[in-house]
């Protein structure tokens, strides 16, 4: 099964100049927790509701004064519409992400693949088994313990 068969096509997006207040409104209207950041049709980053919350909680600045481009992650893991969903699951496990922008020619955003999309794909009896989705989500959610400090005696 290809990513294009299960992805969310035409997801809600924002630009780097969108304020966090406007981005939050977009998320509320679209009932989503992530916005791909697009400039001239190309993916340039991604921002989650968590990114926005932490940015606002650590600054003394109103959401209307902070731009998405200031807090969005620019090192985005992506996939292509023709990629196999199993490859996407592996990418999500490795990168520990729940959502992956789907890009086409020239980095143009064509969709968004989420764990939700993959879970819903298991209902149709497709090649993705529910256990694969659960295993991936467990890998993503696994707590990472900080490395133990070595103190010289």
pLDDT tens string 61-96 = 999 999 999 999 999 999 999 999 999 999 999 999
Distance of CA 145 to the CA centre of its chain: 23
Q: pLDDT digit string (tens) for 26-42?
A: 999 999 999 999 999 89
Extents of the domains making up the chain: 3-141
Q: Which residues contact 121 (CB under 8 A, 6 or more apart)?
A: 1, 5, 6, 85, 128
E strands in the chain: 8-9, 34-39, 42-48, 99-103, 109-114
Q: CA 47 to CA 63: how far, in whole Å?
A: 14
Q: Under CATH, to which class is 3-141 assigned?
A: alpha beta
CB atoms closer than 10 angstroms to residue 142: 10
pLDDT level of residue 122 (50, 70, 90 thresholds): confident
Q: What is the pLDDT of residue 121?
A: 84
Whether the predicted pLDDT of 112 surpasses 60: yes
pTM here is 0.85
Q: CA 116 to CA 69: how far, in whole Å?
A: 26
Q: Which residues contact 99 (CB under 8 A, 6 or more apart)?
A: 34, 46, 112, 113, 114, 115
E strands in 10-90: 34-39, 42-48
Tokens of 100: 């992956």
Average of per-residue pLDDT values in the chain? 90
């Amino acid at each position: 099964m290809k990513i294009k068969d299960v992805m969310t096509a035409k997801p809600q997006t924002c630009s780097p100049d969108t304020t966090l207040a406007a981005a939050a409104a977009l998320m509320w209207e679209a009932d989503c927790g992530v916005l791909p950041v697009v400039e001239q049709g190309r993916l340039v980053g991604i921002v989650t509701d968590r990114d926005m919350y932490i940015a606002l909680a650590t600054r003394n600045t109103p959401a209307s004064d902070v731009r998405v481009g200031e807090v969005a992650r620019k090192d985005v893991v992506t996939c292509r519409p023709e990629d196999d969903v199993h490859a996407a699951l592996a990418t999500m496990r490795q990168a520990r992400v729940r959502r992956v922008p789907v890009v086409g020619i020239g980095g143009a955003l064509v969709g968004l693949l989420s764990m939700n999309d993959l879970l819903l794909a298991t209902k149709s009896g497709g090649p993705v088994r529910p256990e694969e989705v659960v295993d991936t989500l467990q890998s993503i959610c696994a707590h990472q313990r900080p490395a133990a400090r070595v103190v010289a005696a």
